[in-house]
Amino acid sequence: MTAQFPFDNSYARLPARFFTRQPPVPVEAPGLVAVNRTLADRLGIALSDDPAEIARIFAGNALPEGAEPLAQVYAGHQFGGWSPQLGDGRAVLLGEVVAPDGARFDIQLKGAGQTPYSRMGDGRAWLGPVLREYIVSEAMAAMGVPTTRALAAVTTGEIVRRDGFMPGAIFTRVAASHIRVGTFQFFAARRDTEALQALCDHAIARHYPDAEGPAGLLDAVIGAQARLIADWMGLGFIHGVMNTDNMAISGETIDYGPCAFMDAYHPDTVFSSIDQFGRYAYANQPQIAVWNLAQLATSLLALIPDRDAGVAEFTAAVNGFSERFDAAWHAVLRRKLGFATAEDDDPALALDLLTRMAENGADFTRTFRALSGPDPRRARDEFIDPTALDPWLDRWHARLAAEAKDDAARIALTRAANPARIPRNHRVEQVIQAAVAGDLAPFETLMAALADPFADDPAYAAYEDPPAEGEHVIRTFCGT
């Protein structure tokens, strides 16, 4: 049997200036690393049982019937600096599949070779970032965070030159779409109002069918991003490159590069090697989202006939982000702390905990997970000075008692909000090092450990551990 993809390629039907038709560049020797059959089933993609055939498809060497490969064009602000011309420089959209339930998904090969938008790059990817994106995007999905997904990873049998010579690889990404804030910026910067209108209509039809016009789209994206960033913050996740070209209109997390989950909590945490000034530090993420959404608002303004009224309306919409983010963030914190109701003092109580955690090097994931157990006092073990948590524990118990819920309900609520296991940096690094040496077993074990992150599982207890002495990852790097 050959692979069957239920393609219906709506982006390819947009005006020609939205993209360049571009087949993936075949690779030397495709080798299957991983295929996500659960996701393939959900998408209505039928794959054969032959790993060699699957590898050829996800390497771009064999195009499935109905694919119309293209590279999308976009622009963007990178670290605040304007780049008028970006685009899929190392990725090719094979097309869109319409799943049995009617949902539409992009299927993109990342690392598929050079395109007109490659600028200086080789258009390829290597195994490290491919595995990182595979692991982190699937873990995010398992934790209930809107995200692009991992359908497959293959090696290419070619070597790419980065810091050294690395094994080439290709990642197959599934996304609600790859429309970015930067896609709107691209056409707005060219004063191409016709294209901007077509893009706006396309994005509304695809993601927010109830939204009315550019104002409705902007409002919907602001809401989706407010919820998304609150989810990130609740897991100690740092995206690392929140450039406007890496912010999806759909509200999914996209472009996992130098992303990371914090071990010890600190609001200023930055991992990315290229984020010299901490622009994309953990606690800056909501502010950066506002900045990016202001760029989207500015781009959409060209579609509003009454400019002054548009400026007033869009400014108010962008300014409304912080209230919407706070509402989402406070809801996340209430779930993490086991509150079924909302009290005015809850955010202050949560902030007090976070401050004590920061002062005591407390592990973010382990502290909240310990608070979710039958003996929350075990969270004290995460603190350099365990007594630093005691006054807070008293306040928290008093707040919980006011709800008169039984302890089992508190445990159930908090365990569903506080994962036991996250893809810790040192584990991801170990997986990559082993894989480069030809051993995929650590990758497979880590994927299994993260499949159900909210369940206690003694078999994977070691994956709850913070990095040991010498295992700390200080810096993470881009996929390029």
Instruction: List active site positions.
Output: 245
Residue 246 binding ligand AMP, by CB under 6 A: yes
Residue 30 binding ligand AMP, by CB under 6 A: no
Smallest distance from the beta carbon of 255 to Mg ion, in angstroms? Answer: 4
Residue 132 binding ligand AMP, by CB under 6 A: no
Buried b (16+ CB within 10 A) or exposed e, 300-324: bbbbbeeeeebeebbeebbebbeeb
Figure out which of the listed residues 20, 118, 287, 355 binds ligand AMP, where binding follows CB under 6 A. 118
Q: Determine contact, residues 446/150, Cβ cutoff 8 Å.
A: no
Q: Which residue is nearest to Mg ion (CB)?
A: 255
Q: Which residue is nearest to ligand AMP (CB)?
A: 121
Residue 192 binding ligand AMP, by CB under 6 A: no
Residue type, 57: I
Q: Give the interface with Mg ion as residue ranges (CB under 5 A).
A: 246, 255
Smallest distance from the beta carbon of 429 to Mg ion, in angstroms? Answer: 22
Figure out which of the listed residues 255, 275, 363, 382 binds ligand AMP, where binding follows CB under 6 A. 255
**Interface segment toward ligand AMP; rule CB under 6 A; list 35-43, 111-119, 303-311, 369-377:** 111-119
Residue 123 touches which of Mg ion, ligand AMP, none (Cβ within 5-8 Å per kind): ligand AMP
Figure out which of the listed residues 121, 165, 384, 441 binds ligand AMP, where binding follows CB under 6 A. 121
Figure out which of the listed residues 10, 298, 445, 480 binds ligand AMP, where binding follows CB under 6 A. 480
Q: Pick between residue 37 and residue 119 the one whose CB is nearest to ligand AMP.
A: 119
Figure out which of the listed residues 117, 208, 325, 463 binds ligand AMP, where binding follows CB under 6 A. 117
Smallest distance from the beta carbon of 108 to ligand AMP, in angstroms? Answer: 11
Smallest distance from the beta carbon of 245 to Mg ion, in angstroms? Answer: 5
Q: Pick between residue 182 and residue 223 the one whose CB is nearest to ligand AMP.
A: 182
Residue 480 touches which of ligand AMP, Mg ion, none (Cβ within 5-8 Å per kind): ligand AMP
**Interface segment toward ligand AMP; rule CB under 6 A; list 47-55, 61-69, 114-122, 414-422:** 114-122
Residue 177 binding ligand AMP, by CB under 6 A: no
Smallest distance from the beta carbon of 246 to Mg ion, in angstroms? Answer: 4
Smallest distance from the beta carbon of 149 to ligand AMP, in angstroms? Answer: 17
Figure out which of the listed residues 64, 87, 423, 453 binds ligand AMP, where binding follows CB under 6 A. 87
Alpha carbon 379 to its chain centroid, in Å, reads 28
Smallest distance from the beta carbon of 139 to ligand AMP, in angstroms? Answer: 20
Q: Pick between residue 186 and residue 237 the one whose CB is nearest to ligand AMP.
A: 186
Residue 90 touches which of ligand AMP, Mg ion, none (Cβ within 5-8 Å per kind): ligand AMP
Binding footprint of ligand AMP on the chain (CB under 6 A): 86-90, 117-119, 121-124, 245-246, 255, 257, 478-480
